[in-house]
């Protein structure tokens, strides 16, 4: 690429990132004092996506770039699968696939992917996209529809529908997620850890806290109706810092206030250590991938190699559906389209999905993979011997598969709104405020108007609530 073109691409990228930042600034410009009635609000429009000429959009002609987050699988199995694709599985004429890990934070990753799309960049060909952001990327023109094979019914319903926007499939399910309750078997007198840090995981956990606790935040087919007013008493009672009812025993245990500083990784560390600061920890909410992170640690097994923890799915609806889809960039060069489809087909094959589950901890999206593992017939991880990694046994994988599929079936998607990020920021700020004793019950429920405006792409002109 010539120097002028590089400058042009950099300028476009900076402009796209700046526009993204401006959209976020209004969310964080809080002020003291009670919330005021909202005046008419301005509509929020996405920045136009330029039709950048192919020869000027950058990208890598000799590679198929797959943008994703950090590989958090045990033993980096996802990278191994890409290496095998390039070395022996891909058709001879296809470009090699490059796995580009851009950020471990789903919020940062979304912003970076969106900024490049707004700039008309060809930098990424395939996106491993969090299910929460599919609507935004589809309706703003960052990704393109993709055709599934005739075997679309092989996918679990929830993950498949998460990739469907306005009657078209924009994302192919890649990994599924739903909440699990982790319980220490060797110490059961400690408290319960959630992940309430100030990021998307905090939003997920606050949503689950209310809806698994008997209250309601969202409703409607696309979950775009704010329902906080439907039953204020139950919602408020579920949100207040208190106790959590265990899925495993129906007992109530204290939710630790240290949860406000917890993300997925920090809570796994605290669960392993059995304490956070001076507080004992016996229970934890986390995604299924935490199972492998725990099972591979010798400290989490007894002298007989049995696990010192177990997992349970929620017993009722109200969990949040997580996971990711494989989406094709709107700016992919035409000669890469077929290669991208072939790679996606490989990544969603039974063989790869089973290996990602058994060796890495990524929850499958295929019904048949769950059925095999639940019956004890799924393939074990080939790395069970000859390495220092203790892989989960087939009976352990059978339990994990059963509880994970149960939780996925009970989980609700996040709102299918292209402006979900704005909703998430406002809701999390108000819910954290309750836990931090700076938001009253009246102030929390007064946020309904702002939450509805956010989901509909309207920017309030007054001070943000909470």
H-assigned helices in 259-327: 264-273, 289-295
**Which three-class secondary structure state does DSSP give residue 205?**
helix
What is the reported pLDDT for 52? 57
What is the reported pLDDT for 42? 53
| pLDDT band with cut points at 50, 70 and 90 for residue 18 | very low
Q: Is the pLDDT of residue 416 over 90?
A: yes
Percent of the chain at pLDDT exceeding 70: 84
Q: Is the pLDDT of residue 167 over 80?
A: yes
- Angle, helices 106-118/3-28, rounded to nearest 10 degrees: 130
What is the reported pLDDT for 382? 76
Model pTM?
0.87
Mean pLDDT of 155-159: 97
Beta strands in 6-68 (DSSP E): 42-43, 64-68
Whether 323 and 176 have beta carbons less than 8 Å apart is answered as yes
Mean pLDDT of 402-418: 98
Mean pLDDT of 71-99: 91
Residue 31, C-beta contacts closer than 8 angstroms, at least 6 positions apart: 463, 464
CA gap 29, 25 in Å, rounded: 6
378-400 pLDDT per residue, tens: 999 975 444 555 789 999 999 99
What is the reported pLDDT for 12? 45
246-260 pLDDT per residue, tens: 987 888 999 999 999
Least confident of 45-59, 130-144, 393-407: 45-59
Residue 245, C-beta contacts closer than 8 angstroms, at least 6 positions apart: 213, 251, 252
**Which three-class secondary structure state does DSSP give residue 444?**
helix
Whether 259 and 195 have beta carbons less than 8 Å apart is answered as yes
The more confident residue out of 448 and 108 is 448
What is the reported pLDDT for 247? 87
φ, ψ of residue 187 to 5 degrees: the values are -155, 110
Q: Is the pLDDT of residue 304 over 70?
A: yes
Tokens of 381: 């991880």
The more confident residue out of 33 and 265 is 265
Token pair 């990424």 is at which residue? 124
What is the reported pLDDT for 388? 52
Mean pLDDT of 270-287: 96
196-244 pLDDT per residue, tens: 999 999 999 999 999 999 999 999 999 999 999 999 999 999 998 888 8
Sign of CA dihedral 392, 393, 395, 398: positive
Name the CA radius of gyration of the chain, rounded: 22
Buried (b) or exposed (e) across 210-230, using 16+ Cβ within 10 A?
bbbbebbbbeeeebbebbbee
Least confident of 95-109, 220-234, 274-288: 95-109
Whether 326 and 171 have beta carbons less than 8 Å apart is answered as yes
Number of helical H runs and strand E runs in the chain: 16, 19
């Amino acid at each position: 690429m010539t120097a002028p073109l590089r400058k042009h691409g950099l300028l476009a990228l900076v402009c796209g990132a700046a526009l993204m930042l401006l959209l976020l600034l209004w969310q964080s410009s809080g002020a003291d004092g009670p919330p005021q009635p909202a005046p008419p609000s301005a509509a929020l429009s996405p920045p136009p996506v330029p039709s950048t000429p192919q020869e000027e959009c950058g990208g890598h002609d000799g590679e198929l770039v797959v943008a994703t987050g950090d590989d958090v699988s045990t033993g980096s199995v996802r990278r191994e699968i890409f290496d095998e694709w390039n070395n022996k599985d891909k058709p001879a004429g296809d470009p090699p696939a490059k796995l580009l890990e851009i950020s471990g934070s789903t919020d940062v990753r979304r912003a970076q992917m969106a900024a490049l799309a707004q700039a008309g960049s060809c930098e990424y060909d395939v996106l491993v996209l969090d299910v929460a952001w599919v609507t935004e990327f589809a309706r703003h023109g960052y990704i393109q529809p993709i055709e599934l094979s005739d075997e679309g019914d092989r996918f679990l319903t929830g993950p498949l529908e998460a990739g469907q926007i306005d009657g078209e499939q924009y994302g192919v399910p890649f990994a599924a997620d739903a909440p699990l309750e982790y319980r220490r078997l060797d110490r059961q007198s400690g408290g319960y850890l959630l992940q309430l840090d100030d990021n998307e995981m905090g939003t997920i956990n606050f949503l689950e806290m209310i809806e698994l606790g008997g209250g309601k935040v969202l409703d409607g087919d696309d979950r775009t109706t704010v329902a906080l007013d439907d039953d204020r008493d139950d919602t408020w009672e579920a949100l207040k810092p208190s106790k959590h009812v265990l899925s495993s025993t129906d007992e109530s245990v204290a939710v630790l206030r240290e949860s406000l500083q917890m993300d997925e990784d920090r809570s796994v560390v605290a669960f392993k250590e059995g304490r956070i600061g001076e507080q004992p920890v016996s229970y934890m909410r986390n995604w299924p991938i935490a199972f492998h992170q725990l099972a591979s640690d010798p400290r989490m097994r007894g002298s007989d190699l049995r696990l010192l923890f177990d997992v349970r799915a929620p017993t009722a609806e109200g969990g949040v559906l997580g996971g990711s889809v494989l989406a094709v960039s709107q700016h992919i060069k035409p000669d890469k389209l077929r290669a991208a489809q072939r790679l996606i087909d490989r990544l969603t094959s039974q063989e790869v999905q089973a290996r990602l589950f058994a060796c890495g901890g990524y929850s499958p999206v295929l019904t048949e993979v769950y059925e095999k593992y639940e019956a004890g017939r799924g393939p074990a991880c080939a790395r069970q011997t000859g390495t220092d990694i203790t892989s989960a046994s087939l009976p352990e994988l059978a339990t994990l598969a059963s509880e994970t599929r149960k939780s996925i079936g009970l989980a609700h998607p996040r709102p299918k709104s292209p402006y979900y990020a704005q909703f998430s920021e406002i809701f999390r700020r108000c819910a954290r405020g309750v836990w931090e004793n700076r938001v009253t019950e009246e102030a929390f429920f007064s946020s309904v108007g702002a939450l509805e405006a956010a989901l509909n792409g309207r920017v309030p002109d007054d001070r943000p609530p909470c």
